[in-house]
Amino acid sequence: MMRLNEVRISAGSVAFEGNLSLPDHAIALVLFAHGSGSSRHSPRNQFVARVLNNSGLATLLFDLLTPEEEA
């Protein structure tokens, strides 16, 4: 079973949004931190995260830019 959560990571007055995927009995967490030119919604990054999840690794994909900075 997999738990999927949208998360917000606050840093001062800014909040970064991300997707946390937790397979049952995850053995570790892999962090994807996305900057300019990519995002947590990228099909490639989501594919890699799924492969890792299927191998028992939790993943956290989050964007380093706020929606305002990305525009």
pLDDT (tens place) for every residue of the chain, 71 residues total: 899 999 998 989 988 889 999 999 999 999 998 776 677 888 888 999 999 999 999 999 988 877 777 77
Res 40: pLDDT: 81
If residue 18 lies in a helix (H) or strand (E), which one and from where to where?
strand 14-23
Q: CB under 8 Å to 41, separation ≥6 — which residues?
A: none
For residue 42, the model assigns a pLDDT of 85
**Domain-by-domain residue ranges, the chain?**
2-70
